[in-house]
Structure 1
Amino acid sequence: MPGTLGLIGSGMIGSAVARLAVAAGLDVVIGNSRGPETLADLVAELGGTARAATSEEAARAGDLIVAAIPLAAYRRLPADALTGKAVLDTANYYPERDGHLTELDEGELTSTALIQRHLADSRVVKAFNTITPHQLFSLARPADAPDRSALLIAGDDAEAKAAATGLLNVLGYDAVDIGTLADSWRSEPGTPAYIAPYLGEVPAMNVDDFLRWTQRAPGIAVPAARIGELLRAAVRRPAGEARPPSED
């Protein structure tokens, strides 16, 4: 289990992961594209085990890295600083936000495989992409809790996936390994395991109203067995069909 978690990205998912990590007793180093000075309020809220840094500093400092950035910004991930690191990718592909990427639209790559290609000397694992930020924080439970939820992971490196599983366990979740990066389409927007299971029935609304609504929704526990059922129901469709919940 990492002593220091490096976080690249301080949006809603990144902040939720940071809060869980600090609560679990991990040291947290957070970087973003705007500079450490923009993270003062978040770091003050998180407490003494968190500190602000540049993205490259967070990459070098972390024993394990969470990249919580929009997919469109993936080329900004500091590949040199992430050499040899296990990197957990939280991004989802939404063409209307990220711009159309032919390899994803045609199913040649998954979004995480695209990031792995950029981070050729890192070991990338898909994680944290199927749950909204508020529910990620509110549904976390101890290992022996009867209402503990599970989250999906996917990756090509067994050691990196073991590290991701360990982090999820410490943060309050079981892990369901869905296979390789090529298999990670099963966790993409529009698939049965994506977001809806943790929320229940979602009223029709625009993206901004949806985000406000999730802040009030208590969330629904989704155990590993239920994740398995949802995976079996997955059908691959053109990437990016769903609307973005702006989770990054």
Structure 2
Amino acid sequence: MRIGVIGTGGIGAALTYKLGTTGHTVRVANTRGPSRLTALAERSGATPVTLDSVSRDVDVLITSIPLGRLPDLRPLTDRLPAGVVVADTSNYLPQRDGRIKDIEDGMPQGLWIEQQLGRPVIRAWNALVQTTLSDKGRPPGAADRLAVPVAGTDPAAKKLVMTLVDDTGFDPVDAGTAEDGWRMQPGTPAYCTDLTAAQLQKALALAHHETARVRREAILAIMSSWERNDSFFDDLVALNRATAGLHRLAGDPGS
């Protein structure tokens, strides 16, 4: 499959590597230009390109940049052919993105993203920390294989993105439509808690909109006091799991 990736932070770089080394043809771009992507290109087999050309001749375009910067991509997504599937990995983090009134008023992040990009969008890989994505993928059928929620309204586009999730080493779990995507947003039991497919389905059902907002703010406040050390992402997963009370899930290792 021909895939364009915009963004080379932890998630974008991991996706570029995983998709590029599983047989896909990947073009990757960031705001700093292709000359800064040489090492990633050598490791992944991806082709570094400019932002203006990353979406040319692709079947899927993956956006992996801070949510607050997504409106900057509108000129690019306006040029995309209708058949190109757009997937997004971002999350609303007010301390980074600023307060976005529509989201603060209750609009699901998936719908807000679609408004900014002007087309249907599938959300995937946003409910993983970057070390889980890069290090914890497993072959299909592995007993310890973790899962990724995937939300979007277009069934065919969602099915295609779910095959890519599988290629990155995770079981895809249908998390509903763009409106349902709030169940995988920061502060929910499904967000960055490293769950199997069966556990993730239960976690999605446990989500509560107002509770998620409170949890998100509490978790971000705690994180703001942490130093970025080798255990940062493991600690973040543990914090999310504890805050969500995932010991209630049947079969959870902490139950």
Tell me the equivalent position of 1:116. 114
d(CA) in 1 for partners of 2:147, 2:47: 28
CA RMSD of aligned residues (A): 2.0
Q: Does residue 166 of structure 2 align to residue 169 of structure 1? A: yes
The structural deviation recorded for 1:41 is 2.3
2:31 maps to amino acid: S
Spell out, residue by residue over 1:29-74, the C-alpha distance to the aligned partner (whole angstroms, 9 max, x if none): 001122212212221232xx31111223112232111110000110
Aligned pair count? Answer: 217
Q: How does 1:99-248 map to 2 (within 5 A)?
A: 99-107=98-106, 109-120=107-118, 122-195=119-192, 197-198=193-194, 222-237=195-210, 238=213, 241=217, 242-243=219-220
Spell out, residue by residue over 1:163-195, the C-alpha distance to the aligned partner (whole angstroms, 9 max, x if none): 111111122111111111111110010101111
The structural deviation recorded for 1:23 is 2.1
2:24 maps to amino acid: L
Q: How does 1:27-66 map to 2 (within 5 A)?
A: 27-46=25-44, 49-66=45-62
Tell me the equivalent position of 2:96. 97
SS where residue 103 of structure 2 aligns? helix
2:80 maps to amino acid: L
2:87 maps to amino acid: L
Question: Bigger relative contact order, structure 1 or 2, given CA contacts below 8 A and separation 6+?
Answer: 1
Name stretches of at least 5 consecutive residues in structure 1 with no aligned partner. 199-221
Tell me the equivalent position of 2:236. none
d(CA) in 2 for partners of 1:155, 1:68: 16
Following TM superposition, where does structure 1 have runs of at least 4 consecutive aligned residues deviating by more than 3 angstroms? 244-247
Of the structure 1 ranges 177-186 and 230-239, higher mean CA displacement relative to structure 2 is found in: 230-239
How high is the TM-score relative to the length of structure 1? Answer: 0.82
d(CA) in 1 for partners of 2:53, 2:143: 39
1:35–1:53 contact (8 Å) kept in structure 2: yes
1:30–1:51 contact (8 Å) kept in structure 2: yes
1:71–1:111 contact (8 Å) kept in structure 2: no
1:59–1:82 contact (8 Å) kept in structure 2: yes
Name stretches of at least 5 consecutive residues in structure 2 with no aligned partner. 234-255
The answer to which structure has the higher helix fraction is 2
Identity of aligned residues (%): 34
1:179 maps to amino acid: G
How high is the TM-score relative to the length of structure 2? Answer: 0.79
Spell out, residue by residue over 1:105-162, the C-alpha distance to the aligned partner (whole angstroms, 9 max, x if none): 010x222211211222x33001001111111121111113222211001111111101
d(CA) in 2 for partners of 1:45, 1:224: 30
